[in-house]
Amino acid sequence: MNATETIEAYYAALRAGDPLGPFFAADGDREVVKFGISERLVGTEAVRAGLRGQTETTTDWTVESRALRVTEREGYAWFSDDVRLCWTDAEGGDRHEYDTRWSGTLEATGRERPWQFVGMHVSTADDLRG
């Protein structure tokens, strides 16, 4: 699996409600970071806990990649994408929809999942205050 396939698998896992934590590298000698639309998570455990919470409290994800660009070089990859992102709040039933911008970095790990995220940033130009 190459870096592009890993990103596409992450999108598919998000749609399916599958665990997302394994897509992120263990900290080792660096700190993994994930910026979401409304949060900043630093460290593998914080990222994985945040993603578990997201999976438990949301349903019915739509993830439509519109401009995925990936570059791989010597064990690292970086990407950008424009993604239509929608989900339903499992508790209140509210539907959320955003045009988002994604960027991030992956590292070739040589493990069961050959490429893992070491950084991800998801943002939107939308006003979150509603």
CATH code at 66? 3.10.450.50
The pair of structure tokens assigned to 84 is: 């239509």
Q: Is residue 26 part of a domain?
A: no
Q: Is residue 100 part of a domain?
A: yes
Query: pLDDT tens, 61-89?
Result: 999 999 999 999 999 999 999 999 999 99
DSSP string for residues in the chain: --HHHHHHHHHHHHHHT---GGGB---TTS--EEE-SS-EEESHHHHHHHHHHHHHHEEEEEEEES--EEEEETTEEEEEEEEEEEEEETTT--EEEEEEEEEEEEEE--SSSSEEEEEEEEEESS-TT-
Confidence band of 127 (pLDDT split at 50, 70, 90):
low
Pick the closest to residue 123 from 90, 85, 93 (CA basis).
85
Q: Is residue 116 part of a domain?
A: yes
Confidence band of 123 (pLDDT split at 50, 70, 90):
very high
The residue behind tokens 């399916």 is 16
Q: Is residue 130 part of a domain?
A: no
Does residue 130 have a pLDDT over 60? no
Q: Is residue 25 part of a domain?
A: no
Does residue 45 have a pLDDT over 60? yes
Q: Is residue 13 part of a domain?
A: yes
CB atoms within 10 A of CB 9: 15
Structural domains in the chain (count): 1
Range of the domain at 98: 3-20+31-124
- Predicted TM-score of the model (pTM): 0.90
The pair of structure tokens assigned to 89 is: 């709040």
Q: Is residue 129 part of a domain?
A: no
Q: Is residue 99 part of a domain?
A: yes
Pick the closest to residue 36 from 125, 122, 127, 112 (CA basis).
122
CA separation for the pair 99, 101 (Å, rounded):
7
- The pLDDT assigned to 28 comes to 64
Does residue 99 have a pLDDT over 80? yes
- The pLDDT assigned to 21 comes to 92
Does residue 26 have a pLDDT over 90? no
